[in-house]
Structure 1
Amino acid sequence: MANNFSFTGLSEVASKETPIDSDQLLVEGVSNRILKWVSYSCAFVSLMFLIAFAFDESISVSWFFVSQVIAFLLIPILAKSGFENTAKFILILYVDVSIVLLSSIFEGEVYVQFFFIPTMGLAILLFDYKYIHLRNISIMISVISFFVIDFISIDSIILSEDNVDVIRWSVLTASFITTWIIFNTFSESKEKAEQATKKLLEKEQDLNKQLSHKQDELQTYIDQLEVTSLELEKSARAKSDFLATMSHEIRTPMNAILGMTHLLKEDDPREDQLESINILDFSGRTLLALINDILDFSKIDAGKIEFEQTEFELQQLVSTISETFKVTATNKRIELKTEIEDEMPNTLIGDPARLTQILNNLVSNALKFTEKGSVKINVKALEETDDEVKIEFKVIDTGIGIEEDRLDSVFESFTQANTTTTRLFGGTGLGLSISKQLTELQGGRIFVESEIGKGSTFSVQLLFPKGTAKEKIEAGVILDEFVKLKGTRVLLAEDNPVNQKVMTRFLERWEIITTVVNDGHEVIAELESNEYDIILMDLQMPELNGFETTERIRAFEDEKKRKIPIVALTAAALKEVKDQVQEVGMDAYVTKPFNPVELKKKISELTRL
């Protein structure tokens, strides 16, 4: 607290937590300091007189001043010993006696009696209203001493006998009354000031108590908040762990369901079998979409969504999306088309996975709500500079459409156009909400135009920095180089027997030579004794997982084996896992259930390097 001027030192005391008596403060805080200062000052003055009279060889007077010096030095010691009032009274008495004796010594030549006025004031300063009787006695002593000196002074004036008594007593009475009134008035004013100061002190101490109480309450609230925050953090972590575990556990069997369904479709099934397979495929993809939506919604809600800034080829991304939904569109006898504006920048910088997710949601919705006609993916540049391009992605369908009064609500969480839509087509209503949030978190905008019975157009506008220009591929062509996969030697590390069969069936159809192992130790042993072009590495294997196995491979002395391409296969669709994949030195990342087109693309790219 700042040391503000205070006659009684209240600013220092009011800040103390332990309350003290205000009367004690006024006496000890000020009067004791005045007592010491006046005592030492008088002792110094007496010492000066002692020296002066010692030179004049006035022995009796010198001894008087010796006694004065000793008395004034002992008075503070007496006060410190607990006899404050006695010491104060003795101080005033000694000062009054000293003034009377000095007046006698100088025989009226020096007006020493004027020092009685500050002596009376000294009595008021030393004794507060609590000891008013001592104060009045001290003032009375000073007045009487003044009276004595005045009597002596008047007695020395030569007057006629008729006037002496009248003048003497008139002057003495006037002097006594005047002095008494002046100092008594000052005493009363000081008492009022002390009372007001005491009230202010008590009020300030009361406010300090309240402040201290509020501080204690605030600290209690802070402690409670910290406990609550820790509990919320634990709850959020438990929810995140639960979602991650459930996502992994559900995705693993879904990999087998969707994988086998895809293979069955390619086996040229009978018409009656195809219908059952399509139902199985639709239900499996719907379930997978629900899992992805819930996981992504949880991430966005927790503020854990992060966006990458990597180069990607726009043409290839759109073609991959088209290829992904090609079978669904064919089964529904719907035409799926893509239109990409000429002279569009092909290489962009952004998060291709999140862009794919947004467009997948829109195309999936369009196919879901379209029974005849077409679904078209249209891509064009709205604005372009040397460094950036603003692109608009449109997904246009000829489906059932959306009522005008429902257009604003379709992007809300767990909301669909109406209850009939939910019953007929299913879904959580999270897909569009997630697409909207992913778009806006990247600084873009998404909106919809629709007409009942004629279809809907969903538009996404995003700004991308330009990457290093690469040659475009023709629309609809994904990987003509797949023929080069024939004879590719793949080491598949997968501990789940069902997933081993699913993966092996796909690789065999692509004419890839496949060796299957169950854990990391077998991977190391197989790689040390044989040559392979690429490793498909499951991350969660017993004994030695995919991360540890990769770290050992990257430590091989043989440069060719040390640099072998490794593709991570995992059902944990979390960014933390993807970051760890990159940290240990894996080359690519494929999420289960895997997209056959994406897996082909990864194998083809990495084995051509």
Structure 2
Amino acid sequence: MNPRDILKKVINAGAQTQDGTKARTVVIVNIMAAIPALFAFVLAPILFIITSQLRLLYCPVIEGLILITVPFFNRSGKYITAKFIMFCTHCAGTLFFGVIMGPAANVELIVIFLIGMSFLLFTDNRQRVFSLLAVFSVLTALGIYYGYEFTKLIVLIAVVTLNIMVFYFYSEHFKESIDKLMAKTKKLEDVNLTKSLSFNKTNHETRNHLNVVTSISEELLRQSKGADKIVIGADRVKALNIACKQMTLVINNVLDYSTMENGKFELLNSNFDLRELVEEITASFQVMADEKQVNIRTELAPGLPEIILSDERELTTVISNLISNAVKFTAPHSEIGIRVFPNEKGQLVITVGDAGPGLNDQERIQIFKPYVTQRHSTYRGTGLGLPLVKKTVEFMGGSIRVESKPGIGSIFIVTLPLVAGAKQLEEKISYKKFNKTVLVIDDNQMNLRAVEILLQRMGCHVLLSPDLFNGIEAASREKPDLVLLDIGLPGIYGKEALKVVQEALNGIPVISVTGESAPAIKEEMLAAGAVGFLSKPLIFDTFYSELEIFFTKK
């Protein structure tokens, strides 16, 4: 082992079993003992040769031998003992050299060093006072030995006292800063841990739904035995549909909450049938509730307007997450109650009650905080469902609260502004055929097939291309009325892909399509010249409405 490794081992003695500030203090004590010990061993013979005074040989050697024991005390876990041995040895050395060398030793500077060391090493007030008394004792003893006048001694003590005050205030400020930093670090560690747990739950739930899709599709492929067409039972179609909707809900929760945290959120109010919306959402979750033999009972008060003006997507998010939460927690063979009614203030009230384990007072406070999972081991959610509901409701100008008793269940109560919508929109929309040619550019073959099915249902002639430049070539021949461009193509992204298409197909409008839903991306693409923006997965009604608006304007 070389000298460098030995010195490193000595300096770190005892620090391995400590953490943070304590380990740092142990290392400092070892350094302030080991390095001066080496100096003492080196300087002792030099001083003896120069002065021929034997005391300048053995006293520094004794000091060095005492200091070298400090790392051994730290290694044994006797950290306080190690500190005092090191500190008192330096005080004794200061006194010794001050006496031998006289005023030329400038012990005042060494005293300042000792005061700084006191504040650096001792956090306990009693230990710090003891160490400062030792320094004052050395200073007073040397002042008396030098025969200082009383006035000079008082001035010297005053100067030292001022230095002590400076070190004290700096030490307290440093300690306060460290405490704040440690508190923030702890908070960040807690958030990081809870987010990791939340994302693990998101991954777990997504895999569960993917498992349904994979299992059913593999079974159907096995049964098909190479046939072009097969018969699929309605129950399997429902299971696939529910699995896909639940995956969409999980992903949207994460993306929407992130959007809200970044402050980029806007409401898009429209007229829609409230009863129809509630019944559709309830029916979609009833399939999932059937697995636990749970019935979802819906009650809409007669006084509600049939058509309301609100943000349909965000209201869907609120109701879907509340029902999903209730289905997860409610006991098997129980009932989930959903009530929708106007209160005396003319506001819309939505309540969702379950027969789950219930919440205590602390859990009711924590339940709306992001990434917090409080509802016992039965919880399988993302950790963002209820926080997202709370933020969404507040953005919509409403409020949410929960009433719960452990062992009985919980009722979530949402209050929102209620605005009656236009009566003429009560009739169900009929879909017309567009009879347009649409070019779809997407590098994913499954996405191409899915969009083709939707466009053919709208009566469109569809051109498909998995490559940007092949798509441009096809468009040059076929002259489509519209291009649907996936902005996540390999090698070319976003505005760059849009620019290439615009320059090659001058005059043909482009709607950008992406798996991301951040408002900033939408704004960027629209500013770059896209005539529309669609987020995957493409839902038929939303997709149809976007194309209808475009083709009608055209």
Compute the TM-score of the two structures, normalised by the length of structure 1: 0.47
CA contact 1:366–1:395 (8 Å) conserved in 2: no
Aligned length: 387
Q: Aligned match of 1:392 in 343, 348, 353? A: 348
Residue 511 of structure 1 is matched in structure 2 by 459
2:480 is the alignment partner of 1:536:
no
- Would you say 1:273 and 2:229 are equivalent positions? no
Matches within 5 A, 1:148-227: 195-208=153-166
Please state whether the residue corresponding to 1:548 is helix, strand or coil.
Answer: helix
What do residues 236-269 of structure 1 show as CA deviations (whole Å, max 9, x unaligned)? 9x98xx99x989x999x99x989999xx9xxx99
* 8 A contact 2:272–2:307 mirrored in 1: no
Task: Give the corresponding residue for 1:500.
Answer: 448
The separation in 2 between residues aligned to 1:450 and 1:223, in whole angstroms, is 36
Equivalent residue, structure 1, for 2:547: 603
Displacement after TM superposition at 1:373 (Å): 8.8
1:21-420 correspondence runs (5 A): 195-208=153-166, 273-293=233-253, 299=258, 304-315=261-272, 323=280, 326=283, 346-347=308-309, 353-365=313-325, 378=340, 380=342, 383=345, 391-395=347-351, 401-402=355-356, 409=363, 411=367, 413-416=372-375
Q: For residue 160 of structure 2, what is the amino acid of its counterpart?
A: E
In the alignment, structure 1 residue 568 sits paired with structure 2 residue 513:
yes
**Identity across aligned pairs (percent)?**
17
SS at match of 1:315: strand
Q: Which amino acid aligns with 1:607?
A: F
Matches within 5 A, 1:474-489: 474-475=425-426, 477=428, 479-480=429-430, 482-483=431-432, 485-489=433-437
1:594 matched residue in structure 2: 538
Distance 1:585 1:259 in 2: 42
Give distance in 2, aligned partners of 1:132 and 1:525. 102
Provide closer, same or farther for how the CA distance between residues 510 and 269 of structure 1 changes in structure 2, counting only shifts above 3 A.
farther
Distance 1:538 1:603 in 2: 16
Match of 1:549 in 2: 497
Partner of 1:445: 399
Structure-2 residue corresponding to 1:68: none
What amino acid is aligned across from residue 488 of structure 2 in structure 1? Answer: Q
Deviation at 1:339, TM superposition (A): 6.6
Q: Distance in 2 between matches of 1:527 and 1:340?
A: 54
* Structure 1 alignment gaps of length 5 or more: 1-17, 23-128, 134-190, 385-390
State whether residues 442 and 462 of structure 1, in contact with CA within 8 Å, keep that contact through their aligned partners in structure 2. yes
For residues 396 and 21 of structure 1, the distance between their equivalents in structure 2, rounded to whole angstroms, comes to: 74
Q: Distance in 2 between matches of 1:340 and 1:431?
A: 30
More off after superposition, 446-455 vs 527-536: 446-455
What CA distance in whole angstroms lies between the structure 2 residues aligned with 1:544 and 1:497?
A: 18
- Residue aligning to 1:434: 388
Provide the C-alpha distance between the structure 2 equivalents of 1:318 and 1:536, rounded to a whole number of angstroms: 34
Q: Distance in 2 between matches of 1:552 and 1:340?
A: 56
Aligned-pair Cα RMSD in Å: 5.9
SS at match of 1:568: strand
C-alpha separation between the residues in 2 aligned to 1:222 and 1:454?
A: 43
Instruction: For 2:412 and 2:386, locate their aligned partners in 1 and report how far apart those are by CA, in whole Å.
Output: 10
CA contact (8 A) 2:357 2:409 kept: no
C-alpha change, 1:316 and 1:374, in structure 2 (3 Å) is same
Retained in 1: the 8 A contact 2:274–2:308? Answer: no
Letter in 2 for 1:436: K
C-alpha separation between the residues in 2 aligned to 1:258 and 1:534?
37
Please state if 1:460 is matched with 2:414. yes
Code of the residue aligned with 2:158 in structure 1: it is L
1:599, 1:198 → 2: CA distance? 85
3-state SS in 1 of match to 2:541: helix
Q: 1:250 to 1:196 in 2, by over 3 A?
A: same
Q: 1:409 to 1:246 in 2, by over 3 A?
A: closer
Q: How far did residue 506 of structure 1 move?
A: 2.5
Given residue 547 of structure 1, which amino acid in structure 2 is its aligned partner? K
Moved more, 490-499 or 331-340: 331-340
Tell me whether 1:521 sits opposite 2:472 in the alignment.
no
Q: Alpha-carbon deviations, 1:307-354, whole Å to 9, x = none? A: 523442152688567556655558969787867966799555xx7654
User: In the aligned structure 1, how far is the partner of 2:436 from the partner of 2:334?
Assistant: 41
Aligned to 1:93: none
**Does the CA contact (< 8 Å) of 1:339 and 1:376 recur in 2?**
no
When residues 212 and 524 of structure 1 are mapped into structure 2, their CA distance, relative to the original with a 3 A threshold, is same
Over 3 Å counting, the alpha-carbon distance change for 1:371 and 1:515 in structure 2 is farther
What's the secondary structure of 1:537's corresponding residue? strand
C-alpha contact 1:258 1:285 (8 A) present in aligned 2: no
3-state DSSP of counterpart to 1:459: strand
Distance in 2, matches of 1:132 and 1:605, equals: 100
Partner in structure 2 of residue 157 of structure 1: none
Question: 1:142: which partner in 2?
Answer: none
- Deviation of 1:194 (Å): 5.0
Amino acid at match of 2:450: V
- Residues 396 and 455, structure 1, Cα contact 8 Å, conserved in 2: no
Task: Give the aligned residue type for 2:551.
Answer: T
What does the per-residue CA deviation read over 1:566-599, in whole Å, with 9 as the maximum and x for residues that have no partner?
14232x3445544444443434443333323322
State the SS of the aligned residue for 2:373.
coil
Q: 1:131 to 1:359 in 2, by over 3 A?
A: closer
Q: 1-side partners of 2:471 and 2:387: how far apart?
A: 43
**Post-superposition shift, 1:497?**
0.9
Matches of 1:455 and 1:407 in 2, distance apart? 13
Q: Find the aligned partners of 1:433 and 1:548 in 2 and give their Cα distance.
A: 37
Alpha-carbon deviation of 1:438?
Answer: 3.9
Q: Deviations over 1:486-526 (max 9, x none)?
A: 41332212111122112212222332221112233344444
Contact 1:334 1:371 in 2 (8 A): no
Alignment deviations for residues 156-198 of structure 1 (CA, whole Å, 9 cap, x no partner): xxxxxxxxxxxxxxxxxxxxxxxxxxxxxxxxxxx75554334
1:330 and 1:475 map into 2 onto residues whose CA distance is 27
Distance (whole Å) between structure 2 residues aligned to residue 212 and residue 408 of structure 1: 40
Q: TM-score, normalised by structure 2?
A: 0.51
Cα distance change, pair 328–531 in 1 and its aligned pair in 2 (3 A): farther
Change over 3 Å in CA distance of 1:453–1:197 after alignment to 2 = closer
Q: Which runs of 5+ in 2 are unaligned?
A: 1-106, 112-143, 222-228
Asked whether the 8 Å contact 1:311–1:347 carries over to 2, the reply is: no
Contact 1:492 1:517 in 2 (8 A): yes
CA distance in 2, matches of 1:344, 1:287: 30
Distance 2:274 2:482 in 1: 23
Residue equivalent to 2:118: none
Structure showing greater radius of gyration is: 1
> CA 1:427 to 1:203, structure 2 compared with 1: closer, same or farther past 3 Å?
closer
Determine the C-alpha separation between the residues in 1 that align with 2:179 and 2:337: 56
The letter for the 1-side match of 2:449 is K
